[in-house]
Amino acid sequence: MSSVYCQCPDAILKQLKSIVEQDNSGRDLESVKAWLESVLAQSSADTGLLPQSQSQPQPQPQPENQTEDQTVDSAKDAIFNEMLTMEYIYDLIYGYASRITQLKSLETLYPLEAPNHVVLLLMVDDFWKICEKLDNKQRYGVKRRILNVVRGTLRQQSFQAITTSLIGTDKIIVLANFSELSGAEIKGSAEAIGRALVDAVGSTTRYSVKIGISNVCKSHTEIWKAYEQSFQTLSHAFTYEKGVILHYSDLFTDKALDLLLLSETDRFEFELIKLISKRNLDELQRIIREWCSFLVANHYSEETIKSIFTKLIFNLLEYAVNIGLDSTEISKGSVDTTVAILKANSLNGIHQIVSDYVEELSVQVRSACERGCEKGFEAAMAFIHTYYYENLALSEISKVANMSPSYFCRKFKDIYGKNYVKYLTEYRIKKSKQLILESDMSLAEIAGRVGIHDMSYFSKLFKAQTGMTPNSFRRAASEREHVPGHQADDESQI
């Protein structure tokens, strides 16, 4: 059944007026009326913005007995119908369904009271990149061409659906009804609509789209939830190829996946910073490729992926400043890189941006380390203070400093008055004291957090350095906190 209905322009104008008058969003009625009148005055113009092509169906000739006035009225009907559809869909997806259900004359627009509604959300690939050099009118033209294709496809294939553009975004929404279907039939039919739209846009324009499909909602009062689902689904389309169709029901995020991401992110940053000091560009590229492959395999959202990489750039900046590189130059490069990541349209683009940044940083770190052992030790100490909880073997940390293990050991003791192993142990115990004072984690968990995974060994090291067992230290800290009028002292006083 077609979703396009011809109605009397005067009747639709009254409906629009009624809708706007009931609107609580604060929109100006007079400006809306002025807009309607301007569109009405131009409605006799050709409104088809799609370029003609062999693959596009040609318009049917008008009957010989149809007058020019009737043709104009038909064009007006179509324009008003589009306006009404936009307002109608907006009310549904933003939770104002009560307004339109009060207008019985809108029942022919869409079977609102029927069950089984699905939202399909189309996102134009690379839309903002396409529009970078376009003015607002040209951007509207791009979106309008695609919307015309979507609307025409729904009409030609008699899908029971309505559509409109989401203003100010790269998205077009389709609301479809499957009241005569159930279960897997609905998912298959929604997929069929999505595939028809992807193919139509690809064959009649030079653009492409991705589509996110919601779960089925039984009542029109839940269409806003379906819209949210389709929006969330599209957020996972970042790592997919153009033209993909994703279903909300096929995507999931659970705690196990989140914990895996946190663990793998730490591992990735640890390995990357180790390699930066070695200036092994092939290894750097390998680990970045592996990391991107991990993100693709788990289909993390665009927001998550960009958040991960912007945090990485910040951590690399902090590391570079800690080893004494020019903070002004490094900061500018980091800001430029972060902006480029946020503007990227694909994971491949982010991959290249991060690779270029890391290679340049590696060159600067390596050059600084080669100018003298002081910079080498600054690099090593920055690494130790960041990753003290990892297994920091002497052979690895000496490579960060760009020194042989034997030379690193000798110079380390000369500079810091103790050997590397003793320094690392004392730093870990210092961090464990902070965690005991500032958290309610168990002592076993704290030991693991600082890189000591044997509880008895941790207690032995802790007592050797502080003169107290971890339990005694925590108990003493708790007693001091409960002394009336006592203010917390520095940890060194406990």
List, for residues 97-153, the tens digit of each pLDDT value.
Answer: 666 666 555 556 788 888 999 999 999 998 888 888 888 888 888 999 999 999 999
Average pLDDT, the chain: 78
Question: What is residue 108's predicted lDDT score, i.e. its pLDDT?
Answer: 64
- Identify the CA nearest to 12 among candidates 103, 125, 134, 124: 103
| Cα torsion through 4, 10, 16, 20, rounded to 10 | 180
φ, ψ for residue 123, nearest 5 deg: -120, 125
Where along the chain do its domains lie? Answer: 9-49+73-250, 255-417, 423-493
More confident of the two residues 386 and 80: 386
The secondary structure element, H or E, covering residue 153 is: helix 136-156
Beta strand 117-124 pairing with 209-213: antiparallel
Q: Cβ–Cβ contacts within 10 Å for residue 370, how many?
A: 11
pLDDT tens for 239-294 read 788 899 999 887 754 445 566 777 788 888 888 888 887 667 888 899 999 998 88
* Most confidently predicted of 197-206, 354-363, 409-418: 197-206
Model confidence pTM above 0.85:
no
Question: Which strand ranges, in their side-by-side order, compose the sheet holding 171-177?
Answer: 161-165, 171-177, 117-124, 209-213, 245-247
Tens digits of residue pLDDT in 430-450 = 999 999 988 888 999 899 889
CA 326, 331, 337, 341 dihedral sign is positive
What is the predicted pLDDT for the residue at 462? 93
Which segments of 205-222 does DSSP mark as H helices, in order? none
Cα 28 to chain center, whole Å? 34
Q: Pick from 457, 401, 396: which is nearest to 425 by CA?
A: 457
The pair phi, psi for residue 165, each rounded to 5°, is -90, 145
Collapsing DSSP states into helix, strand and coil, what is residue 174? strand
Average confidence (pLDDT) over 296-324: 83
For residue 190 the two structure tokens come to 């929604």
Predicted confidence at residue 232, as pLDDT, reads 83
- Classify domain 423-493 by CATH architecture: Orthogonal Bundle (1.10)
**Domain 9-49+73-250 and domain 423-493 have a common topology:** no
CATH 3.10.129.10 correct for 9-49+73-250: no
The DSSP-derived string for 391-457 is ---HHHHHHHTTS-HHHHHHHHHHHHSS-HHHHHHHHHHHHHHHHHHH----HHHHHHHTT---HHH
Span 178-204, average pLDDT:
92
